[in-house]
């Protein structure tokens, strides 16, 4: 479903250079991976590449859903990339990324409405599973951070995407809530057979949640720049 080989991305030059190297990353449907590493190691850059919002510099192979993503970037086919994003990707953002002017129900339904999908009951079902049914009529501002993260999870899954990306989804939660949100997200993703890539600095939580863990390791090069490399499952 997702296949990356020898994908490179660099920013800046000389001592300001930062390079991310992904030697290999292969994900099948339903597979769940945590990307761990310290702040600034390149977790977000990796998520940007997987979210199809950042163009790679060098690509040996970058396929998603049997589509040549490297080719789409080379041809600058932004519309096709946006279409893939809205149809096959779901996002859980650090503080929810909810739209404050919509109520919870509309926030969850948005990813379906963008695709022109009618409500098949999945909004209410996900809300039930994520224990936010009684919050559906509220605006995000009236929710706790933990509730917002659950709404964000529901929105990420409502249109049944093939790949769910989460950027530090539990960073702003207390340990108890962090575990509950992580479990809820992974359980629902498993149900939908959606692959998950979760960027987190909380390796113990990732391991406790049953995720495969892959570290990003950084080294300083002779030019003073930094090269970060995605390691194998450890």
Contacting residues toward other proteins, per CB under 8 A: 44, 47-48, 51, 53-54, 79, 82-83, 85-87, 91, 93-102, 106, 110-111, 113-114, 116, 139, 165, 167
**Hey, which residues does 19 pair with through a beta bridge?**
10, 227
- Other beta carbons within 10 angstroms of residue 170's beta carbon come to 27
Minimal distance, residue 39 CB to other proteins, in Å: 13
Give dist(CA 169, CA 90) in Å, integer.
Answer: 13
Torsion of CA 135, 128, 182, 158, to 10 degrees: -90
Q: Which is nearer to other proteins, 60 or 94 (CB)?
A: 94
Q: Which is nearer to other proteins, 24 or 53 (CB)?
A: 53
Q: Which is nearer to other proteins, 88 or 188 (CB)?
A: 88
Give dist(CA 114, CA 39) in Å, integer.
Answer: 33
Minimal distance, residue 234 CB to other proteins, in Å: 25
E runs forming strands in 12-57: 18-27, 32-36
Minimal distance, residue 78 CB to other proteins, in Å: 8
Minimal distance, residue 179 CB to other proteins, in Å: 21
């Amino acid at each position: 479903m997702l296949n990356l080989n020898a994908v490179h991305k660099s920013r800046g030059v000389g001592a300001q250079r930062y390079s991310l190297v992904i030697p290999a990353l292969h994900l099948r449907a339903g597979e769940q991976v945590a990307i761990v590493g310290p702040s600034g190691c390149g977790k977000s850059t990796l998520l940007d590449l997987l979210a199809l919002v950042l163009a790679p510099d060098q690509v040996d192979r970058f396929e998603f859903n049997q589509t040549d993503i490297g080719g789409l970037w080379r041809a600058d086919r932004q519309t096709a990339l946006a279409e893939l994003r809205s149809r096959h990707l779901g996002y859980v953002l650090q503080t929810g990324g909810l739209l404050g002017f919509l109520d919870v129900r509309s926030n969850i339904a948005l990813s379906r409405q963008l695709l022109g999908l009618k409500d098949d009951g999945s909004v209410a079902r996900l809300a039930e599973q994520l224990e936010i049914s009684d919050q559906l009529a509220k605006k995000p501002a009236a929710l706790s951070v933990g509730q917002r993260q659950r709404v964000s999870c529901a929105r990420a899954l409502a249109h049944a995407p093939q790949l769910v990306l989460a950027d530090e989804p539990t960073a702003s939660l207390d340990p108890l809530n962090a575990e509950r949100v992580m479990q809820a997200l992974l359980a629902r993703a498993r149900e939908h057979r959606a692959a998950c890539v979760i960027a987190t600095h909380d390796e113990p939580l990732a391991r406790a949640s049953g995720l495969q863990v892959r570290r990003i390791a950084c080294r300083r090069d002779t030019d003073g720049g930094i090269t970060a490399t995605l390691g194998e499952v450890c």
